[in-house]
Structure 1
Amino acid sequence: MAMNYFHRLLCRSALWERTSATKIVPWALSGLDLGASALEIGPGYGANVRALRERTTTLTGVEIDPVLASRLRTRHGSTLTVIEGDGADMPLPPRQFDSVVCFTMLHHVPTVDEQDALFAEALRVLRPGGVFAGSDGLDGPVFRLMHLGDTCLPIPPDRAADRLTGVGFTDVEIETGTTSFRFRARRPEGHRAT
């Protein structure tokens, strides 16, 4: 999951953290209860940590980049449990979290199969009735320009619901904004996937 220099600078900036805390996270999670135990897939530089900690009791992050995982541990200490791992193959037991979230990172997952594996893993680690929610960017010329040299595989919002239901989620909602879309989906109460 490569990121260009500009992208790395933006994602670790105070501006991005402020944007995430005041715009991205509130819009993506509007009206949702994350419950006591939440997991963020791909926290990256940690822009969402403070905003998420206001919404849940315990927060865990699964980060694939070992340098970013170490930085998250140093920067956020006891407010975030950091697990180094791949969101498409998480080293976590099933049915552990009330909610799973991810923000502006799905397009960095390099293949459709790996994106779908990430969705399946989110379902697996959720407790029955738990919510999977987040947001991702919309494809377009400016979006592509920002991602020159990056791993960039945007998810078309009009296909997202079918892909989420395809791995077993129900109550899927997709809403498209100006530059991004948000999604919400639930693990069915009787779902027993491991």
Structure 2
Amino acid sequence: MKLNAFERAAMNNPVRAAHQHHREASWFRRLAGGDLSGQQVLEVGCGRGVGAEVILDRLGAASVTVFDLDESMVELARRRLHGRRVELSVGDVCDIAQPTASTDTVVDFGIIHHVPNWQQAVAEIARVLRPGGLLLFEEVPRQMLDTWAFRTFTLHPRENRFEAAEFATELARHGLHGTGEFEHHLGGMVFIGAARKA
């Protein structure tokens, strides 16, 4: 599901970019047990390309493949990431155009809660991860999506949403096992975690 105008403004601004480069990068580095040096990384839902910058500059990945459902976001990312070790495309997390067991790490900067059939997104992420591969994720729980502010100003699927425990159960169903307790940040607005493919 594409972002509405309010969400695009909230997600595509210097404050959000600074938060990704500093706090979110720090969270993911800690959850990964270090950087992602030498790894082939897939970012699902690239937006305007800030996440790919974080993955390269703050987490040290060798290269990044990114996609987004929104063609206009992919074009913004293409301009931002010109000359970087990034492969960009328009794509759908429920039908990832990557070979099975081909990716070292998948990074999700809060995309899966936008997907109507989020279970299929998890299945696809599990499919493309190699054995021992890592999923790093930041997600918004159902309790936040059900608040007045989210229901009024954002465009999300209303049915079939998840809390952290339900997300963990679905990950495990696809062989993605948590590396520790999920953490809740920003007053419970997001939860973060990491899972490895068995």
Shorter chain as denominator, the TM-score bin is 0.7 to 0.9
Structure 2 gaps of 5+ residues are none
SS at structure 2 position matched to 1:120? helix
Amino acid in the other structure paired with 1:3:
L
Residue in 2 aligned with 1:34?
36
* Contact 1:97/1:130, CA 8 A, preserved across alignment: yes
Q: Distance in 2 between matches of 1:11 and 1:58?
A: 23
Residue in 1 aligned with 2:98?
92
Residue in 2 aligned with 1:182?
192
Residue in 2 aligned with 1:191?
none
| Structural RMSD (CA) | 2.1
Query: 1:139-158 counterparts in 2 under 5 A?
Result: 139-140=143-144, 144-146=148-150, 148-152=153-157, 154-158=161-165
Tell me the alpha carbon deviations over residues 109-130 of structure 1, each in whole angstroms, 9 at most, x when there is no partner: 12xxx21111111111111111
Give the number of aligned pairs: 185
Q: Distance in 2 between matches of 1:143 and 1:106?
A: 18
Q: CA deviation at 1:144?
A: 4.9
Q: Does 1:71 align with 2:73?
A: no
Residue in 2 aligned with 1:61?
66
Which consecutive aligned stretches of 4+ in structure 1 deviate over 3 angstroms post-superposition?
Answer: 141-144
Q: Does 1:51 align with 2:54?
A: yes
Structure 1 gaps of 5+ residues are 189-194
TM-score by length of 2: 0.83
Q: Which of 164, 167, 174 does residue 171 from structure 2 map onto?
A: 164
Q: CA deviation at 1:28?
A: 3.5
Change (3 A) 1:4 1:31: closer
Q: Does 1:125 align with 2:125?
A: no
Tell me the alpha carbon deviations over residues 78-118 of structure 1, each in whole angstroms, 9 at most, x when there is no partner: 322112110111111112111001012222112xxx21111
* Contact 1:123/1:187, CA 8 A, preserved across alignment: yes
Residue range with higher mean Cα deviation, 119-128 or 163-172? 163-172
Amino acid in the other structure paired with 1:23:
R
Tell me the alpha carbon deviations over residues 126-165 of structure 1, each in whole angstroms, 9 at most, x when there is no partner: 1111101111124337965145341245530121111101
* Contact 1:7/1:146, CA 8 A, preserved across alignment: no
User: What's the % identity of the aligned pairs?
Assistant: 24
Change (3 A) 1:141 1:187: closer
Q: Distance in 1 between matches of 2:65 and 2:97?
A: 12
